[in-house]
């Protein structure tokens, strides 16, 4: 790509807003059945399954529901200290500005 190509791209109008084909989900009730679905997730190669489940639950659930998931996770004898590429899930969450409630859900069992 040349400098002229970069300038042409920079001067091109920005695309319009993406078409919204999904409704915003507000106040969705997270059922036990939905929490159970996280236990069926298979990790990518090289990632521990317990870490993968925790990460997906952390990224997909509001804090109160993540706490419920952690309760189920521990009740099933799963490993809260399983490690991913950046350490344990607690170590990762602890670096996030809004991770306090999520971290507390894990810390209560450690």
70-97 residue pLDDT tens: 999 999 999 999 999 999 999 999 999 9
6, part of any domain: no
So what's the pLDDT on residue 73?
A: 98
Distance (Å, rounded) from C-alpha 50 to C-alpha 110?
15
| Domain total in the chain | 1
9, part of any domain: no
pTM of full prediction above 0.85: no
4, part of any domain: no
Write the burial class of residue 29 (CB in 10 Å: 0-12 exposed, 13-18 middle, 19+ buried).
exposed
Give the CA distances from residue 47 to residues 58, 74, 83, 93, in Å, rounded to whole numbers and listed in that order: 16, 19, 8, 17
Domain containing residue 39: 20-107
- Asked whether 63 and 101 are in contact (CB, 8 A), the reply is yes
> Which helix or strand (DSSP H or E) is residue 84 part of?
strand 83-84
Show the tokens assigned to 36: 């159970």
30, part of any domain: yes
Ranges of residues in the chain with a pLDDT under 50 are 1-12, 14
5, part of any domain: no
| Torsion sign, CA atoms 69, 89, 49, 38 | positive
């Amino acid at each position: 790509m040349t400098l002229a190509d970069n300038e042409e791209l920079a001067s091109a109008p920005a695309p319009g807003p993406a078409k919204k084909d999904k409704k915003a989900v507000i106040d969705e009730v997270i059922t036990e059945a939905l929490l159970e679905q996280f236990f069926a997730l298979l990790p990518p190669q090289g990632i521990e399954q317990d870490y993968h489940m925790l990460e997906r639950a952390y990224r997909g659930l509001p804090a109160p529901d993540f706490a419920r998931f952690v309760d189920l996770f521990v009740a099933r004898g799963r490993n809260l200290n399983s490690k991913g590429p950046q350490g344990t899930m607690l170590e990762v969450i602890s670096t996030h500005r809004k991770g306090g409630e999520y971290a507390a859900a894990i810390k209560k069992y450690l």
